[in-house]
Structure 1
Amino acid sequence: MEPRFLLLSEVAAELNVSDSQVYHMVRRGELPAIKIGGRGQWRVERARLEEYIAAKYAETAEWVAQNPLTERDEEA
């Protein structure tokens, strides 16, 4: 069974980005997270991460639809 909550470093590994990128995503409110414990360690619920990923797929699909590939782009 997978853990319900992930460390920021685990989220970074899942998304193949840096730990600091994930920290900034959390601090900007882009990726929902909670602070727990006396030291205020961040945790991201796996379900929230999956929702974030799904939202990014939808956002990307919308961008692609609004920015069709041109012949010039195909040459690059």
Structure 2
Amino acid sequence: MTLDDVQVVLSISRSQAYALVRRGDLRAIQIGGRRQWRVSVEALEEYIAAAYRATAEELGLQVED
């Protein structure tokens, strides 16, 4: 997936998607001559699951796996 795809799925801006990758919160690779970012579907699903867990913990809710 491109960062544009990620931004659509997460309903965030492209710069926010880029920041997630640069901080290491979202695993991605750079490919091609222009070194464009790509995110696997699995990496995005892992990020979303981790975000749900973190939110539940912050709210003191039971974390489901």
- Per the TM superposition, whether the score is higher than 0.5 is yes
User: Structure 2 unaligned runs (5+)?
Assistant: none
Question: Is 2:33 the partner of 1:38?
Answer: yes
Quote the Cα distance in structure 2 between the aligned partners of 1:10 and 1:26: 13
Residue 11 of structure 1: CA displacement?
0.3
Distance in 2 between residues matched to 1:58 and 1:29, nearest whole Å? 17
Match of 1:58 among 45, 53, 56: 53
- In 1, Cα distance between equivalents of 2:54 and 2:22: 20
Q: Which residue of 1 aligns with 2:9?
A: 14
1:58 CA displacement: 0.3
Aligned partners of 2:57, 2:22: CA distance in 1, in Å?
Answer: 25
Q: SS at 1:42's partner residue?
A: strand
Name structure 1 gaps, 5 residues minimum. Answer: 1-5, 67-76
Q: Which 4+ runs in 1 deviate beyond 6 A?
A: none
Q: CA RMSD in A?
A: 1.0
- Using the alignment, how far apart are the partners of 2:50 and 2:25 within structure 1? 11
Deviation at 1:62, TM superposition (A): 0.1
Count of aligned pairs = 61
- Structure 1 residue matching 2:47: 3-state secondary structure: helix
